[in-house]
Structure 1
Amino acid sequence: MNRTMKVAVAAALLLGLTAGAEAQSTKPKDARVKRGEYLATIMDCGGCHTPGVFFGKPDASRPFAGSEVGFQIPGLGVFFPPNLTPDKATGLGSWSEKEIIAAIRTGTRPDGRVLAPVMPYKHYGALTDADASALAAYLKSLPPVSNQVPAMTGPSEKPSGPYLTVAMP
C-alpha cells in the first residue's frame, strides 16, 4: 500500500470514527429528550403551563407556552404559570439546563426568587439527577413560543387576567 492509499485509509477511518462518535453523542441526547417528554407528560406540566387549558380548550399549537389564567394564593397574590418554552423574551430561553433543574427541584429561579407554592417543586425535588436533566433538556428542545403571560400580582394588587381561587364557605 503506497503512502497516498495509507493516508486515504487513515482519513476514512478517522472520519468513520468521528461520524460514529457524533451518532453516539446524539443518540443519548435524543433518548434524554424523549425521557424528558415522558416526564413532562406524566407530571402534567402542560396541565398548568399551556394556554387555554383552564378554559377547557388547550391550545395544542402552543404547548408549555404559559397560561393566561392564574392561581390566587391567599396572602401572597395571583401567580400565572409561566412560559416554559425556550423563547428568550417570554420563556426559559436565557435559562441554562442547570437553572431549570434548580427551579424544578428547589423552586428557586435564577434571580433568586422562589416560585409560587402552587408549583409542586417540593415533590419534584425527589427527581433523580438523570430525570431532572432529561426534563430540562426536553424543555430546551421545544420550539420557542413568544407568549407573555400576565404579571404576578401582590395580595392587594388587581390581577390583569382571570384567576382561580379558593372560596371559603
Structure 2
Amino acid sequence: MYRLAFAAAIALASLSATGHADTKRGEYLVTIMDCGGCHTPGQMLGKPDHSRFVAGGDVGFQIPNVGIFYPPNLTPDPETGLGKWSKADIIKAVTKGERPDGRVLAPVMPWHSYGRLNPQDADSLASYLKSLKPVSNKVPAIAAPHDKPASPYLTVIIP
C-alpha cells in the first residue's frame, strides 16, 4: 500500500512539473513568435497595454478587395476571447489556419509558418494561452472592403 501511495505521489509531482514546463515553453513560444506584437492593445501604436497582453489588437490589417481584419483576443475570456475554444481548436487555428466555426484565418496571420510547430510545441502554446488570465476585450469587427473601419489599420499591398 505504501509503495502504491508513493508511486502515485511521484506520478502526480511529475505531471505537475510537466504541466508547468509545458506552460513555460508555451510562454517562450508566444514571446519568440511575437503574438503580442499584433494581439496586444496599443502595441502597434507604440503604447502597449501590458495589462491586456494578447487580449486583441486595436490596429487592423487591410487586404485590398478582402477587408480589414483585427487581431483577436487570445486570452481565455469566454465572451471575447478563446475561452470556449479547446486546446485542439487553438492548435488547429495556429497550425492549419482554421477556426472552430470553419472560417479560415486572415492571410496576415502567419499560420503557414506556425504550421511547422512540432506537436509538443503546439500543445505547449495552447496550454499557455489557456493558462492566461481572461481579459474581456472585444476587438473591432471585420470590415468589408467598402465599410468604414472602426479603428486604425495598416494596408497590406500585394505586388
Percent identity between matched residues is 60
Q: Decide which of 78, 91, 97 is 2:81's aligned counterpart.
A: 91
Larger of the two Rg values belongs to structure = 1
Equivalent residue number for residue 30 of structure 1: 20
Equivalent residue letter for 1:19: A
Q: Normalised by the size of structure 1, how large is the TM-score?
A: 0.89
> 1:46-61, aligned counterparts within 5 Å?
46-61=36-51
Query: Residue 90 of structure 2 aligns to which amino acid in structure 1?
Result: I
Q: Distance in 2 between matches of 1:154 and 1:126?
A: 31
What RMSD, in angstroms, separates the aligned Cα atoms of the two structures? 1.5
**Superposed CA offset, 1:12-67 (max 9, x none):** 54443332221111111111111111111110000000011011011111101001
Distance change >3 Å, CA 128–CA 162, structure 1 → 2 = same
2:151 is the counterpart of 1:132? no
1:20 to 10, 25, 31: 10
TM-score in terms of structure 2 length:
0.94
> Deviations 1:73-123 (Å, cap 9, x if unpaired)?
111100000000000000000000001000001110000000000000011
Quick one: distance in 1 between partners of 2:51 and 2:113? 29
Aligned to 1:7: none
**Unmatched segments (≥5 aa) in structure 2:** none
Aligned to 1:145: 135
Structure 1: gaps (5+ residues): 1-9
Aligned length: 158
